[in-house]
Amino acid sequence: MRREKDFKVEAVGRDQGKLFHLTEMSAFAAEKFAAKVILALMKSGVKIPENVKDAGLAGLATIAMSAFGGIHPDVLMPLLDEMMECVKIVPDPRNPIGSIRALVPEDIDEVATLLKLRQELLELHLGFSLAAKLSNLMAEAAPEEVQA
pLDDT tens string for the chain (148 positions)? 899 999 999 999 999 999 999 999 998 998 898 888 878 877 877 666 666 656 665 666 666 665 666 777 888 889 889 999 999 999 988 887 788 999 999 999 999 999 999 989 988 887 765 555 545 555 555 555 555 5
In-domain check, residue 143: no
In-domain check, residue 142: no
In-domain check, residue 147: no
In-domain check, residue 109: yes
Q: Kindly report the CA angle at 112 between 109 and 116, in degrees rounded to 5?
A: 115
CA atoms within 13 A on the CB side of 11: 14
Total domains, the chain: 1
In-domain check, residue 22: yes
In-domain check, residue 84: yes
pTM to 2 decimals?
Answer: 0.73
In-domain check, residue 101: yes
Instruction: Tell me which residue range forms the domain holding 87.
Output: 4-137
Choose among 16, 43, 36: nearest CA to 113.
16
Q: Which residues contact 34 (CB under 8 A, 6 or more apart)?
A: 57, 60
Q: Which helix (H) or strand (E) holds 89?
A: strand 87-90
